[in-house]
Each structure stands twice: as structure tokens, then as C-alpha cells.
Amino acid sequence: MRQARRSRAVTGIALGALSLLLATGCSSSDPVIDRTEVGEQSSAVLEERFGGDINVTCPEDLPAEVGATIRCEVTGTGPTYGATVTVTSVDGDDAQWDIEVDDEPLE
């Protein structure tokens, strides 16, 4: 993905169609999307869209079922924002999700 320069704050955005192959969690047979992969893919899309160095970190894996959500943190050159990651579709070994960044920074 190409990168652009950050021209405005990353707030109140929703991104769709982030796609990644599913993995199976070590302690469970339920398919999950690895938290590191969710963070890396989400970071790459935010960087492409807004530029700059943006890092998304997620404390847990994302269950691979439509409607499943986790909370993550988005950091860059300014304050840290919360974000909600929501699975929008699962088709075999492919899952897609949206990430919506909060309007206000975390305290």
C-alpha cells in the first residue's frame, strides 16, 4: 500500500473491507483474527488514508463472526484514540472488518 502524508487528525472515521485470512486460537477451536494482524492491517489502511505514522494496537484477538467487536487504541503524533473493530463478513477463511475511531481522545 502506498503511504501519504498526514493532513488531518484521525477522528470519527470508519473504514471498511479490511480483509485477512482467519487463524485458529491456540486455546480454542473457534476461528479468530489475530490481534497483531488486526492492528497491522488497520494501521496500514489508516496510514494510507491519512498519512503519518499510525499504530493500532488491540489487546485481544477478534472473533471471526459477523458482528463481533473488540476495542483497540490508535496512536500517532498526537493523542491516543480508542477505536472499535467490528467484523462485517466471514466467508470461509476470509474475514472483513470495519474500524471506527472515536471522535474524542482517550483520557
- pLDDT profile of the chain (107 residues), mean per 10: 33 46 49 93 89 94 95 93 93 88 90
Q: What is the pLDDT of residue 2?
A: 33
- pTM for this predicted structure: 0.75
Cα three-residue angle 34-56-76, rounded to 5 degrees: 165
Q: What is the pLDDT of residue 81?
A: 94
Q: What is the pLDDT of residue 3?
A: 32
Q: What is the pLDDT of residue 49?
A: 85
Q: What is the pLDDT of residue 34?
A: 93
Residue in the structure block whose three cell numbers are 503511504: 3
Q: What is the pLDDT of residue 8?
A: 33
Domain-by-domain residue ranges, the chain? 14-105
